[in-house]
Amino acid sequence: MSPNGLAASVATLASLFSADGEGGEGGDQLDRAVQVVGALMGGSVLVGLTLGSTGAGRVAAASDARARRLAQARLLDGHRRSSPGADRAARRIDDLADPVGSAAMPELAGAARAEGVRSVLVVPLVDGEIPLGTLELYAEGPGGLGPDAELAAEVLAMVIASGLLAAGRADRSRTEIDQLRMALESRDLIGQAKGILMASRRVDAATAFELLRRASQSRNVKLRDLAELVARTGELPGD
């Protein structure tokens, strides 16, 4: 693929998610986005797009029925092997028929055999620390998605991720994004509260968290709300 082709695809994707772009409020940006990606990669490459974190995602768009079935199978692997950070790094398997590739994604490997696909590239859609989902490419031949395809997919995934949030679009994904933001905010508040208790009580991180947990249970208050109070006041209630 040429640099000019990649630049044109980036511009097209950006316009899809802009407030005054062609897609408008009534357009289905995600369906059109996967078509843009597929056109750049070549007609034989299948494209899927999922939203939500590993283990809790869903197929939001696909270039065709085969791509949708493959993306759904890939999600099943995610449900079974969910781990922190799994949606934050690109992953390329050059041959799903190889024992190593098959072991890494068994559900996808089985679906790939049925669909005549041998290679896969999974690229995260990430906004800062927030994993929004994945952009997935599937090719029929082994090694069908090389370093050039990976680099281009990472660029396009960044544009899609930015567009989802900057334009306030993708109503179907709004709940997932809000939940992820709340989880990160809770983590930050708990971290702040732990730091305050570590300093004031001169305890380690594990002990500080245990103090928060016990206070949360005894007062029947959510851990996040208690952490927010400690972060705001600098004190653990009941001291």
Residue 217 CB neighbours (<10 A)? 11
For the chain, the average pLDDT equals 82
Note the pLDDT of residue 168.
Answer: 52
> Which one is predicted more confidently, 23 or 48?
48
Note the pLDDT of residue 34.
Answer: 94
Note the pLDDT of residue 28.
Answer: 80
pLDDT reading at 170 higher than 50: no
pLDDT tier, 169 (very low <50, low <70, confident <90, very high otherwise):
very low
The SS3 of residue 116 is coil
H helix runs in 98-239, sequence order: 99-104, 106-115, 147-166, 174-201, 205-219, 223-233
Catalogue the long-range contacts made by 61-66 (C-beta closer than 8 Å, 24 or more residues apart): 61/28, 61/30, 61/31, 61/33, 61/34, 62/34, 63/34, 63/35, 63/37, 63/38, 66/115, 66/117, 66/138
pTM above 0.75, yes or no: no
User: Looking at 75-84, 124-133, 136-145, 182-191, which range is the least confident one?
Assistant: 75-84
For residues 87 and 84, give the distance between their C-alpha atoms in angstroms, rounded to a whole number: 8
Note the pLDDT of residue 173.
Answer: 54
What residue has token string 């899609």? 160
